[in-house]
Amino acid sequence: MKGLWGNRDFRLLWTGETTSMLGSMVASTALPLVAVVTLQASTFQVALLTAVAWLPWLVVGLPAGAWVDRLPKRPVMLLCNTVSMAVFGSVPLAAAFGALTMPYLLAAALLGGIAKVFFTLAYRAYLPALVGPGELLGANAKLQGSESATQVAGPGVAGLLAQAFGPVSGILADAVSFGVSVLCVRAIKVRETVVPPVRTPLRRQIAEGLRFVVHDRYLRSLMTFGAVSNLALTGYQAIQIVYLSRTLGAAPGLVGLVLAVAASGGVLGAVLAGRLAARFGAARAWLLCEVVAAPMLLFGPLSGTGWGLALFVLAEFGVCTGVVAGNVLTTTFRQQYTPPELFSRVNSSTSIVNYGTIPLAGVLGGVLGETIGIRETLWCAAAMSIVALPLLAPYGKLRDFPVRAAARPPLDLPLPT
């Protein structure tokens, strides 16, 4: 067997996505750094950047799922990355002409967020067309692993670029990375089979996806847990750069280093996902990851200056390990559990709830950070992540994730190679 690395189209997808994700991770640090250092933005404005980037899931998430189910996925991915390249490429151009403002930065985050909605839905539906059912977990683990590696490198690169060329240079790097991704996706030869769209109203097609989720206890509980968990994690992360930069007085380079070391836990999580699933069963492995990860956030607000930053690194390292391993397992579960013709609609239906809490968390994190204090807000977010754990109850007695035998083959859990 040639394996995943012998699959040319998967290599191209992996290369393009890894490059693009690296750029996005650089930008995720560079955007708030531009707001804090260059534009002297308030805590609320910095948190608002996170909110507007995720707001499109609430606004266009449901119709996007129905549209993507009707369309070939590769052209959608190409268009989205091209739009993102243009949007983020305009930010350093505006800065060079002295036209960069906080509203401009928020508009770029919003437009980039819209492109990301369509790309994410198309990308997750496209992957099963490139790899066999038995390779899907390994493919997700590799993609999640490379994403985690970019989360390690991204903040550090952003910090170094900010120190050497100014914070806006990280956003330029993001635009270039989208260009590389466009070239890679264009070179993919596989064309997935698209089921001809049924001539039914868009509203009815959206309702089919919603109905599937609402009537399925496993997808419903997974969606609810994801919503509450994202509310806690995003509220925490929306103000973490303000916390490190202003509360603890860390320089941009040190902020990038701290976030890079903390994010290395995601690489470990991607490596462990398949091994934990093989040893304990996929559902039990996921529960273990979530139960261990949630309390780790409590170390964050205990951190301080100097060596006290180690506690912040420990908190984020533990969370990244558990969340990434869990994402590998649940992403594979949804891809194999959901009928292909409904996948994008089901994915958008769950995402509008899961990701829909992220804009709220960004605003809430900013408001609480300015009213009760940044450290106190971190405590609240950490507590909420623990409160979300009882929502995992429907999976409590399962060893492996359930399988829809009529629609998908059994969930295959090989060790990632």
CATH number, domain 4-188+201-395: 1.20.1250.20
Q: Phi/psi class of residue 194: alpha, beta or left (left: φ > 0; alpha: ψ in -120 to 50)?
A: beta
Q: List the one residue out of 106, 368, 109, 388 whose CA is nearest residue 236.
A: 368
306: tokens are 């100097």
pLDDT at site 230: 83
Q: Is 85:116 a contact under the CB 8 Å cutoff?
A: no
Residue type, 43: T
Residue type, 135: E
Angle between helices 8-33 and 43-70 (to 10 degrees): 150
Residue type, 201: P
CA torsion through residues 357, 363, 369, 371, sign: negative
Place of tokens 């985050």: 109
Residues 6+ apart with CB under 8 A from 284: 398, 399
N-to-C CA span, the chain? 13
Low-confidence ranges of the chain (pLDDT < 70): 1-2, 151-152, 155-156, 193-200, 404-417
pLDDT at site 222: 86
Give the span between the Cα atoms of 26 and 47, in whole angstroms.
17
Residue type, 155: P
- Helix, strand, coil fractions of the chain, as percent rounded to 5: 80, 0, 20
279: tokens are 């040893």
19: tokens are 């490059």
Give the span between the Cα atoms of 303 and 379, in whole angstroms.
12
Angle between helices 169-186 and 136-165 (to 10 degrees): 150
Q: List the one residue out of 167, 163, 202 whose CA is nearest residue 66.
A: 202
Domain boundaries along the sequence of the chain: 4-188+201-395
pLDDT at site 199: 61
Q: What is this structure's pTM?
A: 0.68
